[in-house]
Structure 1
């Protein structure tokens, strides 16, 4: 780059633009991987789920919520907690009837 002149300026700007785009993609993928691998302690998980700590412990003891345990410590994966929240869809009576009909019609074959 020491031989930078006016004629080579567009090419240099293009190369810098490509490099910046590559760095942005790399940074984005690294951030996503870090977010997915985030482990939360009990207080952080309770805050993330908007629950009290005793309620979180109750859900853990009933095995209602995904968790990991090492020794006396509980850990929660942020990705698994997000999936847990998303899986909480409540089906309507019509959806339940439709699923039941589908199951019964498939089981008779």
Structure 2
């Protein structure tokens, strides 16, 4: 339908045409996946890094010197990235008692089968 064809007599047909166009646009918009926006990695200074990991500056400097914490150095200044610090923290997870017990039962079952198999051979 052309824009010039709209008159009072053609109004119902024009509205029907607009409704179908809107439905088609809505379908296309809903079908499209949301755009993936890449987040910029903004470097943090040592003060911000200390706040994120909850350690004092001397402790962080010691971790850097021992190469235990991910960091970057440009000139005399240290830089950190939040995602790397959070990954570093998550790598230090301690096992719960239930996890330790489950591992022990699993290992005991494997070792018990080996021992019983060897005992039956002799």
Fold shared per TM-score above 0.5: yes
Identify the match of residue 83 of structure 1 among 84, 87, 90. Answer: 87
Q: Which of 1 and 2 has higher RCO (CA within 8 Å, sep 6+)?
A: 1
Larger radius of gyration: 2
Distance 1:78 1:18, change over 3 A: farther
> TM-score, structure 1 length as denominator?
0.59
Question: Which whole-Å deviations, capped at 9, do the CAs of 1:23-52 have from their partners, x for residues lacking one?
Answer: x821xx21xx315x2321111211221222
The answer on 1:15 being equivalent to 2:25 is yes
Give the aligned partner of residue 34 of structure 1. 39
Structure 1 distance, partners of 2:74, 2:30, is 42
Question: Which whole-Å deviations, capped at 9, do the CAs of 1:64-101 have from their partners, x for residues lacking one?
Answer: 111111111111122211211111112466658x5xx9
Structure 1 unaligned residues grouped into runs of 5+: 103-109
Structure 1 distance, partners of 2:20, 2:63, is 60
Distance 1:17 1:89, change over 3 A: same
Segments of 4+ moved more than 3 angstroms = 16-22, 91-96
Question: Which whole-Å deviations, capped at 9, do the CAs of 1:4-24 have from their partners, x for residues lacking one?
Answer: x532235325525644775x8
Q: Over the residues paired in the alignment, what is the CA RMSD in angstroms?
A: 3.4
The structure that is strand-richer by fraction is 1
Structure 2 unaligned residues grouped into runs of 5+: 4-13, 112-122
